[in-house]
Amino acid sequence: MAIVKYLIIFSLIFSSQLMATEEPEFTLILKDNHFEIREYAPRIMAQVSTSGDFDEASSGGFKVLADYIFGENIIKDRAEKISMTAPVLAEKNNNEWLISFVMPRKYSMETLPKPISLDVRLTEAPKEKFAVIVFSGLVRESNYNEKFQLLNEFIKDKGLISLEVLQVARYNPPWTLPFFRRNELLIKIQ
């Protein structure tokens, strides 16, 4: 039984390294345990607004954006598949959620395929600073409030100014075991 357990763990770790996924470019300014201060480079985002609770909005928004990157788009007169990146971002905005994929760096606004769905918006995010807390497990609306409070305490302790923009970042596919998952909460700072 122990051998099977170690084989499963080894295969999960090894397979995750083989499936390396592009992530947004950033400069690490400070690392303090599970907390980080990062400055993200400008990037292009594909975004969709959805309503519902966190799980419903994440699932619905993910599907629309996945359809876009898997070919529901037009470049000249044909569709093009776009590589998946990580993380999938969720940002609460009043009663809606903004779900976002960061587009691969090889694209510009001019070369990125145009979405067929009118719900998908392509936007350019400027260079921005974020305070970040990194954690594993499942992300639910009920449990990220605790991480949000810890991150706010870190921001205050470091004398930083929060801009009140909270993003939830999930890096792994849904079949990843909870203790192998990488999640983050990001709060935009000055």
Give the pLDDT confidence score for residue 36 in this predicted structure.
98
pLDDT surpasses 50 at 11: no
Burial class (CB in 10 A: 0-12, 13-18, 19+), 73: buried
- Is residue 139 scored above 80 in pLDDT? yes
Residues of the chain with pLDDT > 90: what percent?
72
SS3 content of the chain, % helix, strand, coil (to 5): 30, 40, 35
pLDDT score at 19 = 57
All CATH 3.20.80.10 domain ranges in the chain, comma separated:
22-42+126-190, 43-124
Q: DSSP for 109-162?
A: TTTSPEESSTT-EEEEE--EEEEEEEE-S---HHHHHHHHHHHHHHHHHTT--E
Mean pLDDT, range 72-78, rounded to an integer = 77
Residue 143 structure tokens: 């449990």
- Please, what CATH class does the domain formed by 43-124 belong to? alpha beta
Superfamily (CATH H level) for 22-42+126-190: Regulatory factor, effector binding domain (3.20.80.10)
pLDDT at 165 over 80: yes
Residues 13-57: tens digit of each pLDDT: 444 444 578 999 999 999 999 999 999 999 999 999 999 888 899
Which structure tokens are listed for 149?
């409070």
Q: Tokens for 55? A: 């799980």
pLDDT score of 76: 67
Of the two residues 111 and 164, the one the predictor is more confident about is 111
- What is the average per-residue pLDDT within 153-171? 95
pLDDT at 125 over 50: yes
